[in-house]
Amino acid sequence: MKIPAKAPEGGLPPRGGLLQGKRHRRLLRRLLFLIGIVVVWEVLFRIGIWPSYIFPSPIDVARTLILGLRSRVFVIGILESLKRLLQGYALATTIGLSLGLLMAQLPWLKESLGMIVLGLQTLPSICWLPLALLWFGLNERAILFVVVIGAVMSISLATEDGVRNTLPLYLKAARNLGARGWRLYVEVILPGALPSIVTGMKLGWSFAWRSLMAGELLYTLPGLGNLLMMGRELNDMSQVLAVILIIIALGLLSDQLFFGTIERRIRERWGLLS
């Protein structure tokens, strides 16, 4: 027979109940906020400030979204865009981590290549498209190049900053305990830099999304960007807004299921969660 948990002395509820209550309140606040946005949207539509073909109602957008999913048009676009995104992001992560670690360990590389990386970070991804088209032609490799170059800068800079900002106290303590060479790097420096690295990877993911959409908007390949362009050409604002909602939903899911989980585990490991 399972004995129910009792509240500790002082009448405070158990920790599990407090966490569950916080999650429920957080979910309720988010749900009410989304409902409020939909209500305001519907009110603006009914007032008629803009024509319906420019500002459709939430019902029209939901209908377009359901039809697109049932006909698999949106499903194919999602899968194709995610395939390109994952390929480019994997390459960007590999290159960015390697470049960031090298710049952190080699001062001459930081002073030379690091300056170029920092400058390229400020360049919008759309600016790489003409160069990619001239180098690779009008094909998927051009889009893949834009995705990689759009994400690799933030990952490399965050990795380099995380390694350089490792607390000297940790390094001294590790050396006093006998850590040298690769053990010092793997067991102390990289774990210490992990929060910054994860932040850079999260930023790289968002930059990769933006770069991918910019490439797909200009090239007729199956994908969410192409669906956005088709909606614009057909003057179908419902499709445009439906695709935008899909992109937002994919971004939130990736943050909650992947990056959010990693960040929570890191914070728990570092004792930053109450």
Q: What mean pLDDT comes out for the span 193-207?
A: 87
Higher pLDDT, 262 or 152: 152
C-alpha span between 135 and 120 (Å, rounded)? 18
Q: What mean pLDDT comes out for the span 81-88?
A: 92
Higher pLDDT, 87 or 118: 87
Query: From the CB of residue 101, how many other CB atoms can be counted at a distance below 10 Å?
Result: 20
Q: What mean pLDDT comes out for the span 6-24?
A: 59
pLDDT digits (tens, 9 = 90+) for 32-60: 999 999 999 989 888 888 888 888 999 99
pLDDT score of 128 more than 70: yes
Higher pLDDT, 7 or 106: 106
pLDDT score of 5 more than 60: no
Domain spans of the chain, in order of start: 61-269
pLDDT digits (tens, 9 = 90+) for 91-125: 999 999 999 888 888 888 887 887 888 888 888 87
Higher pLDDT, 171 or 229: 229
**Among candidate residues 200, 99, 88, the one with its CA nearest the CA of residue 154:** 200
Residue 164 pLDDT: 81
C-alpha span between 211 and 213 (Å, rounded)? 6
Query: From the CB of residue 120, how many other CB atoms can be counted at a distance below 10 Å?
Result: 15
pLDDT digits (tens, 9 = 90+) for 182-197: 667 777 777 777 888 8
C-alpha span between 96 and 152 (Å, rounded)? 5
Q: What mean pLDDT comes out for the span 161-184?
A: 72
Mean pLDDT value across the chain: 82
Helix axes 107-121, 140-164, angle to 10 degrees: 130
- pTM listed for this prediction: 0.80
C-alpha span between 163 and 124 (Å, rounded)? 26
pLDDT score of 23 more than 80: no
CB-CB contact of 134 with 191 (8 Å): no
- CA of residue 204 relative to chain centroid, distance: 7
Quick one: which H or E segment has residue 32? helix 15-47
- CA of residue 29 relative to chain centroid, distance: 23
Residue 183 pLDDT: 67
Confidence of residue 269 (pLDDT cuts 50, 70, 90): confident
Residues 6+ apart with CB under 8 A from 123: none
In CATH, 61-269 is 1.10.3720.10 = yes
C-alpha span between 198 and 159 (Å, rounded)? 9
Give the burial class of 203: count Cβ atoms within 10 A of its Cβ; 0-12 exposed, 13-18 middle, 19 or more buried. middle
C-alpha span between 79 and 88 (Å, rounded)? 14
Cα torsion angle, 63, 66, 69, 71, sign: negative
CB-CB contact of 192 with 179 (8 Å): no
Confidence of residue 2 (pLDDT cuts 50, 70, 90): very low
